[in-house]
Amino acid sequence: MELSAANSRYPGWVLDWMAAHHITLWGVADLKGFSTPLDATGNRFPRAISFTVPMNPHIMASIQSGPNQAYADEYARVNAQINTLSAELAVEFGQRKFQAAPLAASVRSDPVNIKGDFPHKTAATRAGLGWIGRHCQLVTRPHGSWIRLGTVFTDLDLPCGPPVDKDFCGRCQRCVEACPAGALQGRAWYPGLPREEILDVQKCDQWKKENYYQFHQGHNCGICSAVCPYGLKVLKRKRPD
């Protein structure tokens, strides 16, 4: 869901903040019932703002045969930008006496199971930003999967969703066919589908470490995202820089 400053359902300061930081695709997720972080009172955060920062489409298109240094640099740059934005937004909430906590852009707090503290993609689908593709990444209408996600948990009562409850990949299997690790299962996503039904994360991680270790110690690949037709549509809409 793309939101404009004319959307009066949200506090003016939230809309102004998003506009000032050029964030055009964002929403609010109802996370009641999910294992979110604890706030200062020991209660779980009931909601989160989810937002996207697009990746450079020309760089994304350049990694269809494998990652390169430009992609590794762009990945790091966008993650740093998201972390800065998330921290700033959390401060804005705090100044208005609401509780908030930013979620790091890309941190494996559970290296054994290769997971973070909370899935950014869960917040994003619950906020209505997109669906999970067969490559186990969020796909959005405006940017495909050529984005990175930010998440800020909050106790501010904001309008949520509606959640996305199905995928729109159709019969496309391009990401599955392109994965050099053979880690994608080809399953169509629906809410609650276990990650392992879509992606063999250990196989994916091992391939990256063995073949692309020079890029953030094997943390980067991106081939499956690069070949996604929803992303390639973005490139067609962009004029050369």
241 residues of the chain, pLDDT tens digit each: 444 434 568 999 999 999 999 999 999 999 999 999 999 999 999 999 999 999 999 999 999 999 999 999 999 999 999 999 999 999 999 999 999 999 999 877 677 777 788 999 999 999 999 999 999 999 999 999 999 999 999 999 999 999 999 999 999 999 999 999 999 999 999 999 999 999 999 999 999 999 999 998 889 999 999 999 999 999 887 655 4
Residue corresponding to tokens 């290296």: 111
Residue corresponding to tokens 């506009």: 19
Helices (H), the chain: 12-20, 57-61, 69-95, 120-126, 174-178, 201-211, 223-226, 229-237
Count CA atoms closer than 13 A to 2's CA, side-chain side. 9
- Count of residues in the chain: 241
Q: List, in sequence order, every residue forming a beta bridge with 53; answer none if it has no partner.
A: 148
Helices (H), 96-213: 120-126, 174-178, 201-211
- The sign of the dihedral angle between the CA atoms of 108, 113, 114, 117 is negative
The structure tokens listed for 154 are 């909050």
Contact 133, 164 (CB under 8 A): no
What local confidence, expressed as pLDDT, does residue 241 receive? 45
